[in-house]
C-alpha cells in the first residue's frame, strides 16, 4: 500500500512539473509575440502555434488572452526584479544612511543605469522583455499596472531620489522626475534602437568592449547633465 501511495505521489509531482513547464513555455512565447504584435494584434491561436501547443491548453491555464498577458507582465517583472535586486538594495542602503556625497551618489546612479542596460542587452531574454515593455508603453493594457507597480515605479523613484539629492533639489518635484526620466531614457537608445546603433558603429554585437564604451558614454552624458 505504501509503495502504491508513493507511486501516486510521484506521478502527481511529475504531472505538476510538466504542467508548470508547459505554462512557462506559453508565457515565454507570449512575451515574444505580444512584444512584436501587442495584445490587440496578437491572437491566442498565433501564440499556440508558436508555442507548439493546442489552443485549448492556453484556455486551460489562462482562461483568456488578457489573463495570459497579465501572466506575461508578472514574468517580465520577475525578470527585472531578479536582475535589479542587488543594485537596488545597495541604493536603498545609501538612501537609508542619508548619504549626500555627490560622487558616491553619482556612481550609484550609474551602476543602476548600467545594470539596467546590461539586463536588457546581455541577458538572453532581455530584448524580448524590453520589447514587451515598450509595447505596453505604446498601447497600455491592464498588464501595465503590474509592470509599473512592480518595477518601473521603484526604479524611477530611486533614480529621481539620486538625481534630486545630487542637485540639492526635491526628488518628488516634476522637474527632477522628468530629468531622471531623461537620464534613464538614454539607456533605451542602446536597447530598442540596437539595430541602428550596430549599423552606425559597425558592431556585430554588444560584447565586453562595446559595453565598456557604452558605459563611458552614459557616464559622460550623465555627468554633463548633473555636474555642469
Which residue in the block uniquely carries the three cell numbers 501516486?
Answer: 8
**What was the pLDDT predicted at 228?**
74
**What was the pLDDT predicted at 192?**
83
What span, in angstroms and rounded, lies between the C-alpha atoms of 58 and 51? Answer: 10
On whether the pTM is more than 0.75, the answer is: yes
What span, in angstroms and rounded, lies between the C-alpha atoms of 106 and 99? Answer: 11
Number of H helices and number of E strands within the chain? 11, 0
152 pLDDT band, cuts 50/70/90, is: very high
pLDDT tens for each residue of 2-55: 555 555 544 444 454 567 999 999 999 999 999 999 999 999 999 999 999 999
What span, in angstroms and rounded, lies between the C-alpha atoms of 69 and 142? Answer: 8
Residue 199: count other Cβ atoms within 10 Å of its Cβ. Answer: 9
Q: What is the percent of the chain where pLDDT is above 90?
A: 80
**Where are the chain's structural domains?**
1-227
**What was the pLDDT predicted at 18?**
65
**What was the pLDDT predicted at 56?**
95
Residue 213: count other Cβ atoms within 10 Å of its Cβ. Answer: 12
**What was the pLDDT predicted at 15?**
53
124 pLDDT band, cuts 50/70/90, is: confident
Burial degree of 224 (CB within 10 A; 0-12, 13-18, 19+): exposed
Mean pLDDT of the chain: 91
**What was the pLDDT predicted at 114?**
93
What span, in angstroms and rounded, lies between the C-alpha atoms of 146 and 119? Answer: 19
Please give the span between the terminal C-alpha atoms of the chain, in angstroms, as a whole number.
78
Buried (b) or exposed (e) across 141-155, using 16+ Cβ within 10 A? bebbebbbebbbebb
Residue 194: count other Cβ atoms within 10 Å of its Cβ. Answer: 18
> Residue 123 region, left (φ>0) first, then alpha (ψ -120 to 50), else beta?
beta
User: Which fold, 1-227?
Assistant: Tetracycline Repressor; domain 2 (1.10.357)
- N residues, the chain: 228
Given a cut of 90, whether residue 95 has pLDDT beyond it is yes
pLDDT tens for each residue of 101-111: 999 999 999 99
What span, in angstroms and rounded, lies between the C-alpha atoms of 13 and 181? Answer: 46
Given a cut of 80, whether residue 147 has pLDDT beyond it is yes
Q: What is the CA radius of gyration of the chain?
A: 21
Average pLDDT over residues 131-152: 96
Residue 61: all three cell numbers together: 491555464
CB 81 within 8 A of CB 150: yes
Average pLDDT over residues 90-112: 97
Amino acid at each position: 500500500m505504501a509503495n502504491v501511495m508513493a507511486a501516486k505521489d510521484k506521478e502527481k509531482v511529475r504531472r505538476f512539473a510538466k504542467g508548470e513547464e508547459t505554462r512557462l513555455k506559453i508565457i515565454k512565447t507570449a512575451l515574444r509575440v505580444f512584444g512584436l504584435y501587442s495584445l490587440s494584434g496578437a491572437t491566442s491561436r498565433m501564440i499556440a502555434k508558436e508555442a507548439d501547443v493546442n489552443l485549448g491548453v492556453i484556455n486551460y491555464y489562462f482562461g483568456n488572452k488578457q489573463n495570459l498577458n497579465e501572466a506575461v507582465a508578472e514574468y517580465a517583472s520577475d525578470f527585472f526584479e531578479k536582475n535589479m535586486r542587488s543594485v537596488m538594495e545597495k541604493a536603498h542602503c545609501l538612501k537609508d544612511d542619508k548619504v549626500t556625497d555627490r560622487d558616491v551618489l553619482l556612481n550609484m546612479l550609474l551602476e543602476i543605469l548600467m545594470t539596467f542596460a546590461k539586463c536588457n542587452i546581455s541577458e538572453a531574454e532581455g530584448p524580448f522583455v524590453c520589447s514587451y515593455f515598450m509595447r505596453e508603453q505604446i498601447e497600455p493594457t491592464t498588464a501595465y499596472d503590474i509592470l509599473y507597480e512592480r518595477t518601473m515605479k521603484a526604479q524611477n523613484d530611486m533614480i529621481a531620489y539620486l538625481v534630486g539629492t545630487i542637485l540639492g533639489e526635491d526628488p518628488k518635484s516634476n522637474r527632477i522626475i522628468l530629468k531622471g526620466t531623461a537620464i534613464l531614457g538614454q539607456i533605451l537608445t542602446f536597447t530598442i534602437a540596437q539595430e541602428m546603433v550596430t549599423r552606425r558603429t559597425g558592431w556585430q554585437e554588444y560584447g565586453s568592449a562595446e559595453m565598456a564604451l557604452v558605459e563611458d558614454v552614459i557616464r559622460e552624458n550623465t555627468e554633463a547633465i548633473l555636474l555642469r
